Amino acid sequence: MILRLNFRILGILLAGFISLNIIISLMFTGIILWQAETDANNLIDSFGISMAVDRGFFSAQNYEVEQIEEVDEGIGFPSFLQRRLPLGELDPRRRISSPGLTPRISWEERIKQTKYHLAFSLDGENYQLSYPLTDDLRVFGNFMLVIIIAQGLFVIGRIGDNTRMIRKTLKPLAEMAEAAKKLQEDMAKLGSTPAGDELHNLAGAIKTIDAGKLNKRISVDSSQNELKDLAHAINDMLNRINQAYESQVRFVSDASHELRTPISVIQGYAGLLDRWGKHDEKTLQESISAIKSETESMKTLVEQLLFLARGDNETIQLHKEIFDTCLVVDEIIKETRLIDPNHVFETELDSPAYIEADQQLIKQAVRILVDNSIKYTPAEETILIKVFKEEDKVKIQVQDNGIGIDPEDVPNIFDRFYRSDESRARKTGGSGLGLSIARWIVERHQGHFEVISRLDIGTRTTIVLPRTLDSHND
């Protein structure tokens, strides 16, 4: 079971890497061929093909030129598409030549002989331009080799992490099966007494429960009170295991869904590049910008998933120190004003407000709240950030005048991948993991959240943390 689950998770990861590599290959090929035609067109427009050949301009650009009898070999595009290509007016025939796969020719020699050919007619003569792809293929090969090695190392590293995560999830089931086996062995010594039969049945029922039958429960009809208590305890444990297992499955499913969306967008723009982008600079730039944006979103999502996975495995170390929360909040607001001039940021800081915590993680949690307020607050509106003390607590409060949250959705906003309004989520972006990360950070510092929100009025979110008395100031 561990292997099956591990292979399934790694399969999703490999599928994403393969899709990304295909997209990179298509983009690289399109850019090389577009640039080759553009350079050839510039030489012909500037000097004419005869002068460019006589003076060696083509040779200087690594082109080979020869006169041919007929322009009949290669691919020709429809006129409406041909006009958008660099050599559109010449209506060339295009093809790529490479030696066949024979053992007599090495890969190095095969790369040297791979060329891009353009055959066309000009001034009553037929010409063929040949552009060697040797240097471009070597650069691309080295680039892809580095990417594949990095991806392979990442996948190998994930095998151990996935195995530990799965073992941790299934550990209660293994312990329960071992306990059932021991119960069965012990009951063999009791003979056929009524209590022995009931324990035997109980052990048998436990053995039938596996990861696919976590919703099954043990009967509590026994007349023995001790066995009833044991059955109730096992059923309660099964409820907790089932909830954890379903949460894990839902988390993997949601993560797969979140990754599928940017991959689909990237594939769509790759198709657009394949059809039009090689010949339309506007489409090419639009596609490249969209692919860069989606890959950045995927990077952010993967980083958030890795943070939560490390948090679940308890591998994140807290580096606690005593510091003034007001200084951290003031630093965040100064940085935010530089990158977001469209909102008004006001602060009320009751300094000093000391806590003992991991400063970088607390800064990350506060920044998540500020970023959420920016996303859901109209431009020119005010966002208020306060830090104040109440008895033995320090409270960090972020209040906005944004779209607000339905009161029924407030208890769920810290769940992973939860979005109260999918349409608004698509407009503002985000993966639905930010508040989950913030909750993990705050809870690891023995803190909690207080949230008050009203639709079309705004939201006030407060982080409550234990206060530390500093000997110099408090």
Q: Tell me: the pLDDT tens digits for 303-351?
A: 766 776 666 666 678 888 999 999 999 999 998 888 888 999 999 999 8
Instruction: Tell me what pLDDT residue 136 has.
Output: 83
Distance between CA 107 and CA 428 in Å, rounded?
49
pLDDT value at 398 more than 90: yes
Helix axes 434-444, 281-312, angle to 10 degrees: 30
Describe the crossing of helices 281-312 and 134-187 by its angle, rounded to 10 degrees: 30
Q: Give backbone dihedrals phi and psi of 86, rounded to 5 degrees, phi first.
A: -60, -40
- Residue 423: predicted pLDDT: 42
Query: What confidence category does residue 471 fall into, taking pLDDT thresholds of 50, 70 and 90?
Result: very low
Residue 426: pLDDT band (50, 70, 90) is very low
Report whether pLDDT(108) > 60. Answer: yes
The larger pLDDT score, comparing residue 265 to residue 116, is at 116
Sign of the alpha-carbon dihedral angle for 51, 55, 61, 62: positive
Q: What mean pLDDT comes out for the span 119-144?
A: 83
* Alpha carbon distances (Å) from 10 to 15, 160, 431: 8, 11, 21
Tens-place pLDDT, residues 200-254: 555 555 655 555 555 555 555 554 455 666 667 777 777 777 666 666 665 666 5
**Residue 246 Cα to chain centre, angstroms:** 22
pLDDT, residue 356, reads 93
Residue 122 belongs to what H/E stretch? strand 115-122
Q: Which of 161-170, 172-181, 303-312, 445-454 has the highest mean pLDDT?
A: 445-454
pLDDT at 205: 57
What mean pLDDT do residues 145-168 have?
Answer: 78
Residue 455 · residue 387 · CB < 8 Å? no
- pLDDT at position 327 is 93
Question: In order of start, what are the domains of the chain with their CATH numbers?
Answer: 2-138 (no CATH), 154-309 (no CATH), 320-466 (3.30.565.10)
Q: Which of the four pLDDT bands, split at 50, 70 and 90, describes residue 94? A: confident
**Percentage of the chain modeled with pLDDT above 70:** 70
Q: What is the mean pLDDT of residues 421-449?
A: 72
Rounded mean pLDDT of the chain? 76
Q: Give residue 354's pLDDT.
A: 93
In contact, 205 and 225? CB cutoff 8 Å: no
Q: What pLDDT shows up at residue 470?
A: 61
Encode pLDDT of 31-82 as tens digits. Answer: 888 888 888 888 777 777 777 777 677 777 778 888 887 877 777 767 777 7
- β-sheet bridge partners, residue 459: 453
When comparing pLDDT for 126 and 228, which is higher?
126
Threshold 0.75, pTM exceeds: no
Asked if the model's pLDDT at residue 464 lies above 90, the reply is yes
Indicate whether 15 pLDDT > 80: yes
Q: What is the pLDDT of residue 147?
A: 86
Q: Which of 17-31, 71-85, 104-118 has the highest mean pLDDT?
A: 17-31
Lowest mean pLDDT among 34-38, 106-110, 149-153, 438-442: 106-110
Distance separating alpha carbons of residues 106 and 207, to the nearest angstrom: 60
- Give 388's pLDDT tier (boundaries 50, 70, 90): very high
How many whole angstroms separate alpha carbon 369 and alpha carbon 414?
A: 12
pLDDT score of 191: 45
